[in-house]
Amino acid sequence: MAPAAAVSAPGGNHARRRQWRYTWEALAHLPLLRLYVFPRPALPAAIPSGDLRADLRLEDSLLLLSFSLAGEGAPVALRIPVPRVLVDPAAPVECRAAGDHVEVRLALVLPVDHPVVAAAFPPLHGGEPPAPLAVRDDMKSLSSGDVHLYCKNCSARLTKQPLRKIMEMPSVNWEEVADNWFGGCCTSFGGAGEKLVAQFINAYGRLEGTSLLDTTAITIETDYLEADLVAQVACSALSSDFVDVKEATSDVSAGKDHTTGKIKLKISEEQANITVAHAQPPSIFEEGPIVSSSETNGDTLQTDQSGTCQMEIDIDLNFEKSKNDCCVENMDESNKEVNLSLVDPCHCCCANEYSGKAEGNPSQMSSVNQKKQTVLETKRDYKLTKTISLGSSFIVKASNLLNDFEWVELLCGQCSSPLGSYPSQFSLVPADGRVRLFKCYTSTELPVTGPHDVFRGHTLERVFVNLLLEVAEDEISFRTLVRDLKTKRPILQLVLLSSKAWLASGCCYENDTDGSHGTADLQPSVKLLYSDYSNASEADVRIVEEWSSKYRAEELYMMKRQIDGLTECLSSAMDNFPVSCSSLEGMHLSSLKR
């Protein structure tokens, strides 16, 4: 019988074909390579230390491991590939049985992160080391020509016209860096960082056709999006505004004029600005300041005795079918109560009318961007303007958390996978006319993740880890609490153990003598402890809140979908370690690639 068939066969000599998992681990600046070998699933009894032998064959990059298990006559023989590092052949091989796993230690001539090691062992078979995540490396690759963006999950194109002008966006924490630099060299530059950031925002806000690149995302104008994404933004805005109109009918009085077939709604000034948008269909990109004139399109703005601005808006009850025959319902004039639930504000009229409008007028963003920038300057304070203009919802630090706006998730129109987000005020329209497409969900070339895709190395875990290490270095904190950006509830508790680790994991089978043992390639990673509080009780939530306060953990806010993706990565990587090593103080040992 062929070896491959023997591996897959569940019956017969199944005990002799048991699967074992191995994990190689190396830490920075330590000339030591550690191996964990353990069965999956775990054995009911501990692995005895008798008859444990290890034979290192460097010429074949192979480690032969053999030992006996209680109650089994034949010994276990495993062939485990050895990573391509500088192992000291003169040093003895240390091995021991540690309960549910076997541990082997090999001495190295040089640590795995030494430049000599990289030069001695270049990537095999045309492979390449992990692509760098530095913004400047991305800028060099993107400056060569026109760039289209694609969904990394389904390869759907996201941009209807290529991006020709891309510039680097400063960090949302740029102000602190600038103030520290100026304060260190000269004391006469008070508030220099704030002035620089304000000037940058003022400059790029009027640069139509300019896309901005930062560590986690590329920020593009909505005018560049494909029609299905434009329609999604329009539908989201209309749905949100329609809820506001519906709620307004129950907030204050609704009087009906039987002779005209109209009703009068008294709503707040903020709601009036949204509702007028329905009376006269706007461009989906426009978001003007709050209505302040005394009259707007024939609708009167009044101020009651309490000083609250109210607007009376006439809404015709005698709706008729639109050209698309999909968004309105005929309403019975004899009905005394207005049934607003019959109106579907987000269907094909949204996709047809508004998407067509966006596609047919690409120059529209020029004047609209200037209007938006004026609103930013006159209606928002500096911190809010900075957070909206320079921020991204991939990770939000507690110091940059504001309640004056919200981040809205953007999904692929073809496969509904996440793409990014955009900031929103008052409605779900982008507050600055731009959306943030996360690099971990976006590609710059087909095939996605191919050799010419600039964002091929940007995965969810790698982008998160690099930001986590940046925060840990800046704040000198190795404890992190990740909260849901919307609910503010704690979801992930993290403790960083090693910021520079190299790991390689794989599987092998008992008594596998066919000679094919594969390769083990060490990947740069971080080791950490984590706890998942997504379904925790209130008592457990209080405990982790106290932990965060006691140890002054760094609090980061992320959208729920990204947190779920990280939790999945952590849970999967936890299987790379033995059960006896995977729990410490109630937390699980895991790793993420960096």
Provide DSSP, 250-300: HHS-EEEETTTTEEEEEEEHHHHHHHHHHHSPPPTT---PPP-SSEETTEE
Structural contact between residues 225 and 160, judged by C-beta atoms closer than 8 angstroms? yes
Q: What is the DSSP string of 142-159?
A: HTTS-B--EETTT--B-B
Rounded distance between C-alpha atoms, residue 84 and residue 79, angstroms: 16
Q: DSSP string covering 443-511, please?
A: ESSSSTTSTT-TTTT--HHHHHHHHHHHHHHHHT--EEEEEETTT--EEEEEEEEEEEEEEEEEEEETT
Q: Which residue type is seen at 449?
A: T
Q: Quick check: 52 and 95 in contact, CB under 8 A? A: yes
What is the reported pLDDT for 572? 94
Cβ atoms of 211 and 218 closer than 8 Å: yes
Could you tell me the residue ranges of all domains in the chain?
19-121+458-593, 135-236+390-443
Residues in a beta bridge with 311: 267, 301
Neighbour count for residue 448 (Cβ, 10 Å): 17
Please give the pLDDT value at position 583.
Answer: 77
CA distance 436 to 218: 6
Q: How high is the pLDDT of residue 121?
A: 85
Q: Is 315 helix (H, G, I), strand (E, B) or coil?
A: strand
389 contacts 432 by C-beta, under 8 angstroms = yes
> CA dist 65 to 40, 100, 510, Å?
17, 16, 10
Q: Is the pTM of this model over 0.75?
A: no
One digit per residue, the tens of pLDDT, for the chain of length 594 reads: 333 333 333 333 444 578 899 999 999 888 999 999 998 877 777 777 678 899 999 998 999 999 888 777 778 899 999 999 999 999 999 999 888 899 999 999 999 988 898 888 887 765 677 777 888 899 988 987 789 999 999 999 999 999 988 988 766 565 565 555 555 555 445 566 667 777 777 776 667 788 989 899 999 999 999 988 887 776 654 444 434 444 444 443 334 443 333 333 333 343 434 333 333 333 333 333 333 333 334 444 444 443 333 433 343 433 333 333 433 333 343 333 333 333 333 333 333 333 343 444 444 444 554 455 455 445 556 667 767 777 788 999 888 888 888 899 999 999 999 999 998 887 778 888 889 999 999 999 999 999 899 999 999 999 999 999 988 876 667 899 999 999 999 999 999 999 999 999 999 988 876 666 778 899 999 999 999 999 999 999 999 999 999 999 999 999 999 999 999 999 999 999 998 887 777 899 999 999
**Cβ contact 18:510 at 8 Å:** yes
DSSP 126: T
Tokens of 445: 């070339």
Give how far Cα 395 sits from Cα of 205, 254, 381, 484, 531, Å: 23, 43, 22, 10, 19
The secondary structure of 191-220 as a DSSP string is THHHHHHHHHHHHHTT-TTEEEE-SSEEEE
Tokens of 372: 């938006």
588 with 582: CB under 8 angstroms?
A: yes
DSSP H helices in 294-441: 348-349, 355-360, 364-379, 382-390
